[in-house]
Structure 1
């Protein structure tokens, strides 16, 4: 058997949790399938599966190798499709994860444009306000907002986002407009809570304050709506509240002085064989965010007031 056939057999074995079933799919006897696995394990010098009488389970080394096998197989299939069609089009499934705010306010339109350019790509989008820094093997591109922790993943800087303090006109009329960062400590505030706990430490320009009087929620959209309803001051990404600012539902507080940049990165596994659809999407995402997001605090203030 050739290397690609070996890879397909092992991928099928992982998916079916059975080496015999994978062998039958490939037209091989159980003995031939077992010999294939032993040959690959000997070549790698590592055990890929834990085999018992009842189940077949991937080892840590196996998970790494099978993930790369999937990429290699899909890359070859994409190349064959491109050659047959005579184009440089991309296809296959693209799995993306991102924060909910980013997904609702920016990514949904960017993906729509990408779908129009590449109709053969199937999108699987996962949105959450509590995304971990760990990126599962089945995610092709993870978009993360904020400082990155040390990781074996490849991280590409896409753009800078801007966090702002905002509140409704009613809230400001009731509580007054804060003049100094420390004024917010005892004012009513609204805080997003994630797996890491409540995000009640706010960076306002060069100052950092920890707010104390706050309602909290795990859903960023609820935080935005509470702010519009006048329940307190919120610390949000500008693109999440720009429409509310333009329509007068929210007011920026001491912008751009209290605006703080936050990096946006695309993260993906360092596979040698990166599917063309992943490279194409990350390049497209980088270009689109550069067009859609302001590059500095002054432009950010203008961005929120532009029609």
Structure 2
């Protein structure tokens, strides 16, 4: 742990730098928008703190002592560096909104319903949702932060695990399914999976369940996973989908998860560049996303 800096008051240092640069208390006062008396007071305070005189005071002029001449260039360079850093920060483009990239289904089922929570807790920041099943280039600025599904690693990005996904059989309670064997008389709903690895489909589920006589190729084929879920809600059949993304339907009882087994999926990760992750608005979004994943 580093020791705290023991420095004189900043006001005294600023007064000294201005007075030393102008070699005039009056000009220093004009620059700092204070009275010459206030500058003189700050300089007396600084000299008392250091235990050294910094100026030789003559009639109508001042000059630096040896100690003052030693301190002035160091302090000038420090304040100049401070001013340059502030100027560079001021020139950086300010985000009108934090852009979050996430998969289409994650955006629709987890982010949009939770927008009110973000706006209530962080009203000073705005959000822009970018829904896509293709990963965007965060380094290019296409998005400020993203939710990625997969095993990683995410090269060049700071990442944090949000939660693990799990996939299971779900259907309308009106179908009355109680046992895996009931699937042989039910309509299996198939949807297209946007990733090639770890595909949570009926073939993979059947490898775990080993239901006798189950034809995993038959049934209703729907390209969009969200539409497949809606078909299940409408009682059109049974679908394998993310239990995490349909928690609302399960809680409301419009869908049920009548039996296992469950397919263990990858994790959802929160990812961003190191620079973005250090900003206050992206940090607010990070906290919100963690709350969304935990709810």
Q: What TM-score, normalized by structure 1, do the two folds share?
A: 0.52
User: Which has the larger Rg?
Assistant: 2
Q: How does 1:15-34 map to 2 (within 5 A)?
A: none
For 1:152, which of 152, 156, 174 is the aligned residue?
156
TM-fit CA distance, 1:165 = 1.1
Query: Which residue in the other structure is 1:250 paired with?
Result: 255
Query: Which residue in the other structure is 1:135 paired with?
Result: 137
Contact 1:105–1:239, Cα closer than 8 Å, also in 2? no
Query: Which residue in the other structure is 2:119 paired with?
Result: 115
Distance 2:277 2:151 in 1: 27
TM-fit CA distance, 1:159 = 2.0
Q: How does 1:147-186 map to 2 (within 5 A)?
A: 147-148=151-152, 151-172=155-176, 177-179=179-181
What's the secondary structure of 1:260's corresponding residue? strand
Could you say if the C-alpha distance between residues 283 and 253 of structure 1 is closer, same or farther in structure 2, counting changes exceeding 3 Å? same
**Number of aligned pairs?**
203
CA RMSD in angstroms, aligned pairs only: 4.2
Could you say if the C-alpha distance between residues 126 and 273 of structure 1 is closer, same or farther in structure 2, counting changes exceeding 3 Å? closer
TM-fit CA distance, 1:266 = 0.9
Distance 1:189 1:234 in 2: 6
Distance 1:168 1:117 in 2: 35
Q: What TM-score, normalized by structure 2, do the two folds share?
A: 0.54
Distance 2:164 2:105 in 1: 15
Asked whether 1:93 is paired with 2:97, we answer yes
Contact 1:191–1:199, Cα closer than 8 Å, also in 2? no
What's the secondary structure of 2:152's corresponding residue? coil
For 1:228, which of 220, 233, 236 is the aligned residue?
233
- Gap regions ≥5 residues in structure 1: 1-71, 82-90, 293-307
Greater strand share, structure number: 1
Contact 2:200–2:263, Cα closer than 8 Å, also in 1? no
- Gap regions ≥5 residues in structure 2: 1-84
Could you say if the C-alpha distance between residues 268 and 206 of structure 1 is closer, same or farther in structure 2, counting changes exceeding 3 Å? farther
